[in-house]
Amino acid sequence: RAPSMATLLKPRAVPEVLGAANVDGVETTMLVDFHGNLMAFKGEHEQDEVVRDAAIACNVWHCHSNQPEKTAFAGDLRTVLIELEQGKLAVCSSGG
């Protein structure tokens, strides 16, 4: 049988993988599903802060990706940068 093209992570490994991205000034990395649900996170911030930031990020992402005719760019949305009071938040799609 041929190996699958997709590789799934074990749930216990997800925080470790997210933590590996916390370098060069990145303080917290989070995994959020398309509906805005926080799936996992790793970093210096408290869970309530991360949940709030995930909600903001998903709202901004949905506004821009669902109504491209009302935004200042054309084409597929790849990254959104948001400046918050406590720092900057970069949002990008991880697939699908």
Share of the chain above pLDDT 90, in %: 11
Q: How far apart are CA 80 and CA 56, in angstroms?
A: 11
Q: How far apart are CA 79 and CA 29, in angstroms?
A: 15
Q: What is the pLDDT of residue 6?
A: 58
Q: How far apart are CA 49 and CA 86, in angstroms?
A: 10
Say whether pTM exceeds 0.75: no
Residues 27-62: pLDDT tens digits? 899 888 877 788 889 999 888 988 888 888 888 888
Share of the chain above pLDDT 70, in %: 80
